[in-house]
Amino acid sequence: MNMVEKILARASGRKAVTPGEVVVANVDCLLLHDLSGYLTAKVFEEQVKRPMRYPERVVMIFDHHFSPPNEEQAVLLQQNRGFARRHGIHLFDCGNGNTHHVGVQNGFIRPGTVVVGSDSHTPIHGTLGCFATGLGNDSHAGTVMPFGKAWFRVPEAIQVRLTGRHKPGVTPRDVVQWLIGTIGEGGAIYKALEFTGPYIHELGVWDRWLFPMITVDVGAKCGYIEPDEKTIAFVRSLTDRPFDPVTGDRDSTYEAVWDWEISDLEPQVTCPPTVGYVKPIGAAAGAPIQWAELGGHGGGRIEDIRMAAQILRNRKVAPEVKFNLVPSSRAVFTQAIREGLVELLHEAGATWFPASTGSNQAINMGAMAADETMISTHARNFPGRNGSPEAKMYLASALTVAASAVKGCVADPREFLS
Amino acid sequence: MGKAFAEKVLARAAGLSDVRPGEIVDVYPDLYMSHMASWRCIRTLEKMGTDKLYDPERIAMVMDHISPARIAKTADDQRLCREFAVRKGINKFYDVEAGIAHVVLMEAGHIRPGMVVIGTDSHSTIYGALGALGTGVGFSEITAAWVTGKLWMKVPESIKVIIEGPLARGTSSKDVMLKLIGDLTADGATYCSVEFHGSYVERLSISDRMTLCNLAMELGAKNAFVRPDEITRSYLGERGVPPGQYTEIHPDPDPVYVKSVTIDGRSLVPQIACPHTVDNVKPIDQVAGTKVNQVFVGSCANAKYEDLVEAARILKGRKIAPGVRLLVSPASKEIVARTVKDGTYSILLEAGALITNPGCSACAGDGGVMADGEVTLSTANRNFQGRMGSYNAEIYLGSPAVAAATAVRGVITDPREFL
Amino acid sequence: MTEKIGGRLIKFGDNVNTDVIIPGRYLVSIDPQELAKHAFEPMGTEVQKRLWSSQVVVGGKNFGCGSAREQAASCLIGCGIKAVVAKSFSRVFFRNCINTGLPAVECSEAAEAALDGGELWIDLEQGMVEVQGESFSFASYPESLKQILEAGGLIPYLAKYVLPQQEALKRHTPELSRR
Amino acid sequence: MEIRGRCWKFGDNIPTDKIVRTDMIFKPWSEILKHVLESCNPEFPAKVKPGDIVVAGKHFGQSSGRAIAAKAMKQTKVGCIIAESFARTFYRNGFEIGMPLLECPGITAQVSDGDILRVEIESGKIVNEKTGGEFEAKPTPPFLLDMLKAGGLIAMADRLAGEG
C-alpha cells in the first residue's frame, strides 16, 4: 500500500484498502476559514443539531478578511466567533495569517493524520505526510463535526518523480506552475499525486509545500510527499504532540509514474483566464500591469519575501504599479521585520498588509477595474475573483512578481539577478 | 483693535486690504484638496463641459478613504483620478498607498503657514497646525475652485482657547480637546476660527497641534490655528521647505475674540467621548470597565507617529486581552517607515495588533465594521451612530494611551495604571 | 424667487449629524433619488416615511454637523425636501445646501415654533418664515448666494455666469501666498 | 429514477466561481439564482426550468470546494447534471446534497442546447430524443446511489458513523 492507502486503512480501522473502495475514516483535523466556516456552521446548527464530538480537532481561521468592510461581513465574523465559543473549537481571528499557514505553525498538522478542510487547497498538508483533502460543508457539518469521521473513496495514486536542478531565476513555484500546465486542468481527476524524486527531497519544507497545493487545480484528490527527516524535524519544532508517520510500502503500486527532469525550465507564468494556461516567461513578458502582490495560499512565505527583497534591493517599484505584500502569518511578518525586509521593501515602494489571504476574493483588497492587470503569487486567476470580470490576473513566482513590479510589466526576473 | 488670524489670512487670499467678520468675500485658496470625492469632481467637470483648470499646481488629490479598492466600481473611480492627474499634470497626486490626505500633504511640505486650503473633508481644520487656514467644503465647490480658482467665504469671528500646561500625567492633546468639546459642546465654535494659545501650545509638537486643530472641527469650527514658531519652521525645514518659501501670518496682539476659554492641562484627567456624540464627554473613571470588542488606533486625529509610539509604550511586552481585536492603521507611509525602523511596529504586531496599510481605514468605514451590539474604543474623531457599522453598535473615543490600555484589559481602562 | 416655498414639515432635535442624515456606507452613490432611500436611515423607517412625505426639514442647533459630504444635502433634495430651517447650521452643511440649490434658512424662532407634522412656508425674497400662524424674519442671503440658489446650485451657476467670463476673471487674481 | 428535460450545454473546466460568483456567496437564493452560470450563458438564469438537464464538458465545478455551487445548481431545480467529468469536490458535494450527477465521456459531442434528453440515473442510460442517440454514463458507485436515495449525506450520517 502507498502512504495514502495506509493512512486511510489505519483511520478506518481496516487492515487494507484498495483504490475505488469507499471507507469511513477518522478525521484528525478540520480546518475552516471565515467564509466556509460560516456556511458549515449554519448547516451544523440548523440541520445536524448534534454536539461537537471533538472540538479540539476543529480549527477556524479568519483569513479572507483582515477586517470586515461592511455590516454583512461584520455579522458573519461575529456569528463565527459565537459558533467557535459555543462549541469550544480553536479560533484564530483576523490578522493571524492564512488558514493553511496558521494550521501548520500552530502544530495542528502532523504526519500520518487525516486532515480535511473546506478550502480547496487543503491537500497542501500532504506536504507533511498527511492524507489531506478538501471536503464540502455538508461533510464537515454532517459527519466530521458530530462524529469525527468522513467518507472517502480511496484514490488511485500517480507518482510524480522530479529530477534535476532549477536554473538561477527559476524557483519551485515555477516548477509547480509548469506542472499544472503540463498535467492540465482536470488532468488527474480523483487521483492521489505522490511527489518524489531527488528534486523534491532536496527542497526545504516550505518549498515542498507548493507541490501538493496544486493538486486541486489538476483535479486530484490529494497530493503528498512521504515524510523524511526534514519533515519530522520541522513538525517537532512546532508541536510536542505525538505523531506516527507513515510511508508507503516498497511494493506500492501506482496507476502511472510521471518522470520529469526540470533542469531546462524557464520561469513560468500562468496567464489569464485559467490556471492551466501556463507559458514560459518569454511568451508573456511585456504585458503591462498595474498591481502586483505577494500573498495568497501559496505566497507570502518568508521565502517569497526574501526573493522580492533580492530583486528590490536598490530598486524601486515602478510608479504606475501598486505592489502589495501580504505575509502568510504573523510569525512570518515578525520574522521579515527582524531580517530588515519590511523596511527594505517599504522603502522600495511596496505596501504591507496584515497577514491574511490578501486579495483572494477581494474582500478587503484586490478589486480591479476592467482591463486592469495584476501579477501575483496567488493560486487562482479565474475572471471575476478580483473586481471586474474583465480584469486580468497572472500568476508567477515571487521573483517574477517582484521583477514585474519594478518594470511595470510582466518581466523575466533574470534581468535583475546578476 | 487688531485683527485675528482668520481676518488677516482671508484678506490676503481675497486680495483685499481689510475684511471684517461676517463679511462674505471671494477667496482664492492656495490649495484645493480632494480625496475619495475626486472622481465626482472630475465627473462634474465633464458635465460642465469644460476642461480648463485654473491652476493644476493648486490641486492636490489623495486616494485615502477606501484604499485599496474592494469593488470594481471603486477601482474604476480611482483609475479615473489617476488618469486625470496624469493628463492634467497634477503633480500633487497621492495614490492608495500614501495614507490619510491631511497627514500626507503636511508631511510632503504642501501645507505652509499663511495658506488658505480647502478640502473635501471636514477635518481640513487640521492645517491650522502649520499656521494655515484649512476648511472643509463639498465636492461641487472643489470642482468650482478647479475651474474658477475661487470660492465664497464668510469671514469668521475668532475664539481664543488658552491651554495651560504641562499636562497632567497620562493625558494628551486628545484629552484636552475632548474636555474642550465636552465643555463647549458640538456647536461651541460654529463658523468660528479657533486659535490655540497658552503655555502648553507654545512648546507643542506638530503632531499634537494636528490633534488640536483636527478636533476643533468637532466644535463646529470653520478653521483652527496654532501660531507658527520655531517648531513649525523646523518641521517644514525637514521637509525641504525653507522659511523663504512662505509668509507666516500671525494674529495682531489685540484682536477681538468673541469668546475666550481657558483649559488647565495641569489638572486634566483622561477623557472619553461616549456614544453617539463627540460632546458626550466624561472623565474616564465614569466609564472605565465598559467592555469593548474592538480597539481602533487610527484616523487623522490620532494615528501619527507619536500616537503609535504612545500606544506601543503601554503595549510593549504585553498582549491584548483574549477576545479583543486591536486594529492599527498608521496615518501615512512615512509613519510606517519610522515605526518599522524604531521597533514600534514590531511591538504592536507582537502584542497582537492587526496593522493595516496606511489610510482612513475604519474611521471611513473601510474595515473595522461592527455588528449589532459591538463596542469599539477608537482614537478617531467621530463616534456618530452607524459610523462604524451597525446602528446598534457603540463607539467611545479616547487617546492612544487609553486605547492601548483598553486593548490590554478588554475593558475601557485608565492608562495611568500602566505608567 | 418670488414664490413661497414650503409645505409639511418634519422636525428634528439639536446636533443632527451627517452620519444620521446619510450614512457613510451609501456615499458610493451621488444620485439624489438613490441616496434619498437611505436618508435618516439610522432613525428608522417610521421617520423615513414621514421625511419622504414632507417638504421642509426643521432642525435644532448645529444641524448637519460632521462630514463635508455633499450628499447630506443632495439626499434631502432626492426626498422632495424644498428647504431646511434650523436654529443654526454646521457650516459645511450650510454651504453644501446652497451649492446644491437647497435653501437653508437659519431662523431660531421659526425652528422653535415649528410643530412636527405642521406646515411651514418661506418667502426667500422677503426673508420671512410663516409657521403656526406666526411670521418670523431671517437675514436674507447676500446677492451672490441668491444667485447660486436661483441657478439651482453652484455648478449650474458657474456654467451660466462664470465660465463665459473666465478669461476676464483671471486678470483680477490677487497675489498668492508664496510657494 | 428517470429524468426527462431540455438540455443546456456548457464547456470544459467551468469553475465554481462561474456557477456562483464569489460576491454572491452570502446573498439569499433568490439573488444567487439570478446569476447562476450567467457568464457562460446569460440566458440560463432566467430561462432554466425545473427538470432541465445540464450537460457540461470536462472538470465541471473546479476551483473552490464549498458546497454552495452544487446547492445553487440544485436550487435551479435542474433534474441532473451530466458531464464528461466532474471536479471531485463538486461531485462529492452534489451527492451529499441529493443532486444527481452522471459522468459520460463524449456526451458533449452528442447533444445540443434545447435537445430533449431522457436519463436513468441508476443504470446511467441517456437518450437524446431529438437525434435518437443512446449513451451509457459511467456507473455510479452504489454508495452514492444510496446517499441519493436517502436524500443526501446528513440524512444518512448516523448510518455512516456506525460504519467507521
Task: Please state, in angstroms and as integers, the Cα–Cα distance from residue A407 to each residue in A177, A288, A374, D154, following that order.
Answer: 22, 9, 13, 53
Sheet holding C56-59, edge to edge: C104-106, C83-86, C56-59, C5-11, C119-123, C128-131, C134-137
Alpha helices for A290-394 (secondary structure H): 302-312, 330-338, 341-347
Q: Nine-digit cell at A23?
A: 471507507
In this prediction, residue A382 has a pLDDT band, given cuts at 50, 70 and 90, of: confident
Quick: pLDDT tens for A39-96. Answer: 999 999 999 999 999 999 999 999 999 999 999 999 999 999 999 999 999 999 999 9
Domain residue limits, chain B: 5-263, 272-418
Q: What is the mean pLDDT of residues B224-250?
A: 97
Do the Cβ atoms of A136 and D96 come within 8 Å?
Answer: yes
Average pLDDT over residues D103-129: 96
Q: What is the pLDDT, as a whole number, of residue C174?
A: 52
pLDDT tens-digit readout, B294-310: 999 999 999 999 999 99
Structure confidence at residue D164 as a pLDDT band (50, 70, 90) = low
Any B CB within 8 A of C60 CB: no
* Domain boundaries defined on chain C: 5-140
Q: Is the preceding peptide bond at A273 cis, omega within 30 degrees of 0?
A: yes
**Per-residue confidence (pLDDT) for residue B380, from 0 to 100:** 97
Mutation for C interface: B115, B384, B391, B392, most C CBs within 10 A: B384
Percent of chain A with pLDDT over 90: 94
Domain range B272-418, its CATH number among 3.30.499.10, 3.30.1300.10, 3.40.50.720, 3.40.140.10 = 3.30.499.10
The answer to whether residue A336 scores a pLDDT higher than 50 is yes
Residue numbers of D between 89 and 148 with CB closer than 8 Å to A: 89, 92-93, 96-97, 141, 143
CB contact under 8 A, B68 and A68: no
Cβ–Cβ below 8 Å for A141 and D154? yes
d(CA B403, CA B378): 7
E strand intervals along A5-68: 22-26, 29-33, 58-61
Confidence of residue B7 (pLDDT cuts 50, 70, 90): very high
**What is the percent of chain B where pLDDT is above 70?**
100
* Residue of D20, A282, C91 lying closest to B136 (CA atoms): C91
Contact B349 A330 (CB under 8 A): yes
Across chain B, mean pLDDT equals 96
Instruction: Answer whether residue C67 shows pLDDT above 80.
Output: yes
Cβ-based contacts of B371 with chain A (< 8 Å): 71, 74-75, 77-78
Give the whole-angstrom CA distance, residue A88 versus residue A262: 47
Average pLDDT, chain A: 96
Higher pLDDT, A102 or C172: A102
Residues present in chain D in total: 164
Domain ranges of chain D: 2-163
The torsion angle over the Cα atoms of residues B22, B23, B25 and B30, rounded to 10 degrees, is: -40
Once rounded to an integer, what is the mean pLDDT over residues A2-12? 97
Contact A383 D22 (CB under 8 A): no
User: Burial, B250: exposed, middle or buried (Cβ in 10 Å; 0-12, 13-18, 19+)?
Assistant: middle
Look at domain C5-140 and name its CATH class.
Answer: alpha beta
Q: What is the third-level CATH fold of B5-263?
A: Aconitase; domain 3 (3.30.499)
Task: Among B37, B144, B384, select the one facing C158 at the smallest CB separation.
Answer: B144
B365 touches chain C (CB under 8 A): yes
Does B177 have pLDDT greater than 60? yes
Residues whose CB falls within 8 Å of the CB of residue A216, separated by 6 or more in sequence, listed in order = A120, A121, A123, A134, D62, D63, D65, D89
Any residues with CB less than 8 A from the CB of C57 and at least 6 apart, and which?
Answer: C9, C10, C12, C51, C76, C81, C83, C84, C85
What DSSP character marks residue B289?
A: T
* Cis peptide bond N-terminal to D139, omega within 30: no
Calpha distance B193→B257 (Å, rounded):
10
In this prediction, residues B33-57 reach a mean pLDDT of 92
Domain D2-163 has CATH 3.30.360.10: no
Mean pLDDT of A172-178: 98
Enumerate residues 325 to 384 of chain B having a beta carbon within 8 A of any beta carbon in chain A.
Answer: 325, 327, 333, 336-337, 340-341, 345-346, 349-350, 352-358, 361-362, 365-372, 374
Task: Write out chain D residues lying below 8 Å of A24, CB-based.
Answer: 160-161, 163-164
**DSSP assignment letter at B369:** P
pLDDT at B47: 87
Residue D28 at interface with chain A, using a CB cutoff of 8 Å: no
User: pLDDT-based confidence at D63, cuts 50/70/90?
Assistant: confident
Query: What pLDDT does C142 receive?
Result: 85
pLDDT tier, C178 (very low <50, low <70, confident <90, very high otherwise): very low
Q: Which of A40, A50, A139 is nearest to A80 (CA)?
A: A40
Helix (H) or strand (E) run with residue A103 in it: helix A99-105
Nearest-CA neighbor of D56 among D102, D118, D125?
D102
Contacts of D17 in chain A (CB under 8 A): 382, 384-385
Residues of B in contact with C90 (CB under 8 A): 187, 190, 220
Mean pLDDT across chain D, nearest whole number? 93
**How far apart are alpha carbons B303 and B330 in whole angstroms?**
5
